[in-house]
Structure 1
Amino acid sequence: MGYGSRRPVRTPFLSAVTKIKRLQFSQEHKDWTVEHWKKVMWSDESRFQLHHADSRVRIWQKQHESMHPTCMSTSLQAGGGSVMVWGMFSWHDLGPLIRVEQRLNSTTYLSIIADQVHPIMLMAYPNGDGFFQQDNAPCHGARIVQEWFQEHEGDFALLRWPPRSPDLNPIGHLWDKVKRAIRQPSNLTELDSAIHQAWCQIP
């Protein structure tokens, strides 16, 4: 019959309003060519757990052996710690990868925009025709961040982004590539080093 056991594809919950905004985004960009998308700088944050639970792991066991030590997988609360990073890339360039201590707030994000995003956008799109993509995280919409964008609106444009749409951001494929390249670091320092090494090796 062609049926088989599969894990369902995980997707974000979409309200009616969110669906409308996603449709509007699609309609606004339906005529964009590859040349248009080449002018977009994509960005996002990602958190990497020190001890990541791999749901793909399977074992062979008898019905009564579920609690046998050889049939169990240990876990640590909060994954034993984590490293959060922010990164960006475009068709032409792989941007910097920045470690974010604790959580990304408006002050930290503003420094990233001013010190990293701005000079790279000016270099990559000197005519001011580039687009910077960011999602709708609270720190992205903070007043001090929005005021900075308004003061520099002639340097590049913001790509208006629909809510709850990480699936539309191609940087997710880069995060997956980095996570698959990491091989059992023993501490957060090793994890941070492995993340940056994997990022720099992306072709």
Structure 2
Amino acid sequence: MSTARALQNDFQQATGVNVSDQKIRNRLQEGGLRAQHPLVGTVLTARHRGARLAFAIEHQNWQVHHWCPVLFTDESRFTLSTCDRCERVWRSRGEHYAACNIIQHDRFGGGSVMVWEGISMEECTDLYRRDNGTLTAIRHRDEILGPIIRPYTGAVGPGFLLVHDNAQPHVARVCRQFLEDEGINNIEWPHTRLT
């Protein structure tokens, strides 16, 4: 990431020539670049980078047939409210309560819904919708692993591998024990929740 001012300083240090930061901006625009807000990301620690490198090295020679029995799973939360407080309006001073500047929303937030699904190269599981409550290890075992993953494992047959992220309920002892008791193998996913 670099700003026009930082590029100006770098250019001056490298060449000894002083050019304005506006000239730098003009040249960047001529080159098709536009100033944008940087994306915000989490910092990966040495442990995270090491885990990702080890995963890549371990699986670098896998062929398509190795990935066929692998089921990748994840869940996402969707807010049911029309207002998630991320929208912005442009207004003049004193127009705070003008009707055009008010977004209506459910007084109690409207709630949210969590959905879960698994995909592989050739199949996908049914979309599972959890309407209420938080995901606990017991719920994950009783609502996902038992009724969805266990039958899917049987349908795929030998070589089945489960991949899920390292969310606390997924890696809790009760879920690890369930997978072990059922003979369900999983790939250690290097993704680590950083928040």
Same fold (TM over 0.5): yes
Per the normalisation by structure 2, the TM-score is: 0.68
Please tell me whether residue 24 in structure 1 is matched to residue 57 in structure 2.
no
Structure 1 partner of 2:75: 45
Please tell me whether residue 11 in structure 1 is matched to residue 52 in structure 2.
no
AA in 1 matched with 2:191 = P
Which digits, 9 at most, give the CA deviation of each residue in 1:102-145, with x for residues without a partner? Answer: 1111111112212110111210x22x112111111111122221
TM superposition shift of 1:37: 2.2
How do 1:59-74 and structure 2 match up within 5 A? 67=96, 68-71=98-101, 73=103
Structure 2 partner of 1:108: 139
Provide closer, same or farther for how the CA distance between residues 90 and 7 of structure 1 changes in structure 2, counting only shifts above 3 A.
farther
How do 1:142-181 and structure 2 match up within 5 A? 142-153=172-183, 156-164=184-192
AA in 1 matched with 2:140 = Y
Which digits, 9 at most, give the CA deviation of each residue in 1:59-106, with x for residues without a partner? Answer: 7x5765874543454566785211112221212112122222311111
Provide closer, same or farther for how the CA distance between residues 28 and 75 of structure 1 changes in structure 2, counting only shifts above 3 A.
farther
Q: CA RMSD in A?
A: 2.9
Tell me if structure 2 keeps the 8 A contact 1:43–1:86.
yes
Q: Secondary structure at the match of 1:3?
A: coil
AA in 1 matched with 2:136 = N
Measure, in 1, the Cα distance between the counterparts of 2:95 and 2:46: 43
Between 1 and 2, higher relative CO (CA 8 Å, sep ≥ 6) is seen in 1
Measure, in 2, the Cα distance between the counterparts of 1:114 and 1:133: 16
Larger of the two Rg values belongs to structure: 2
Unaligned 5+ segments in structure 2 are 1-28
AA in 1 matched with 2:189 = W
TM superposition shift of 1:48: 0.6
Measure, in 2, the Cα distance between the counterparts of 1:53 and 1:94: 32
How do 1:70-109 and structure 2 match up within 5 A? 70-71=100-101, 73=103, 79-100=109-130, 101-109=132-140
- Runs of 4 or more consecutive aligned structure 1 residues displaced over 4 Å after TM superposition: 52-59, 61-66, 71-79
Q: Secondary structure at the match of 1:95?
A: coil
Give the length in aligned residue pairs.
161
Measure, in 1, the Cα distance between the counterparts of 2:149 and 2:111: 28
Provide closer, same or farther for how the CA distance between residues 82 and 24 of structure 1 changes in structure 2, counting only shifts above 3 A.
same
Tell me if structure 2 keeps the 8 A contact 1:39–1:131.
yes
AA in 2 matched with 1:8 = P
Identical positions, percent: 27
Measure, in 1, the Cα distance between the counterparts of 2:91 and 2:175: 57
AA in 2 matched with 1:159 = I
Unaligned 5+ segments in structure 1 are 167-203
Per the normalisation by structure 1, the TM-score is: 0.66
Provide closer, same or farther for how the CA distance between residues 80 and 160 of structure 1 changes in structure 2, counting only shifts above 3 A.
same
